[in-house]
Amino acid sequence: IGSICYRPFPEMRFAEIAFCAVNSDHQVKGYGTKLMNLVKKEGARTGIEYFITYADNYAIGYFKKQGFSKTVSMPRGRFHGLIKDYDGGTMMECYVHPSIDFTRIPEMLAAQRKFILDRIRLKANSTRVYDPLPSGFNPNLEGVSRANETAARAMAIPGMVEAGWTLTDLISATGQGKDADRAKNALRSEMIGLVRKIEEQQFAWPFREPVDTNEVKDYLEVIKEPIDLSTIE
């Protein structure tokens, strides 16, 4: 399926990853992450503090996902003269925290996510559902200026006050302020630009369009909240 080979320098507490590859038939399935997590766990067990590698342009994205950075924080004196410089490669480094079990990172992240969501639910009112507005909904707008009628009508909708909205917020959000519109359009353009830059990346092809569930029958059983770049855009 794949392999990672590294050369340790125990006296300097770092190791150089010399080879890292996953069979093309098994890529984008998580095997590369599992292999790297096993390597990190073994490195932490044997006293390795840093992993260093030279990544080509196609591998930089993978190593970034595994916690590697182009910023080398390890003192140069610890590795200078011990590892070979490669033309066209980018030196990348990963710090190996001794107390982290890297093979349990998915479970750790899932537990942290659950804890945060549980804490949010204690404070949030997002589970409260209000009845639909009655036909001909016409709140009392006595004393409200014509310029603020739209915002005042929205404030009269049940749940708006409970959600923390104020009349001032709504006046700004209903388009009465041109600055708000300009800021919204600028943000939209920036976000669409980011999505398109991601789409242009070589390894973005699996995420450009929704997965065809007619071809992958059990996809929705495994991926509970599917998303893709075209849906985001």
Positions marked catalytic: 16
CA-CA distance, 181 to 173, in Å (whole number)?
A: 8
Long-range pairs for 80-84: beta carbons < 8 A, 24 or more residues apart: 82/9, 82/12, 82/16, 83/16, 83/52
- Spatial contact of 233 and 195, defined as CB atoms under 8 Å apart: yes
- Spatial contact of 28 and 206, defined as CB atoms under 8 Å apart: yes
Count Cβ neighbours within 10 Å for each residue of 192-226 and write b for 16 or more, e otherwise.
eeeeeeeeeeeeeeebeeeeeeeeeeeeeeeeeee
- Measure Cα distances from 227 to 84, 212, 230, 233 in Å: 42, 12, 9, 11
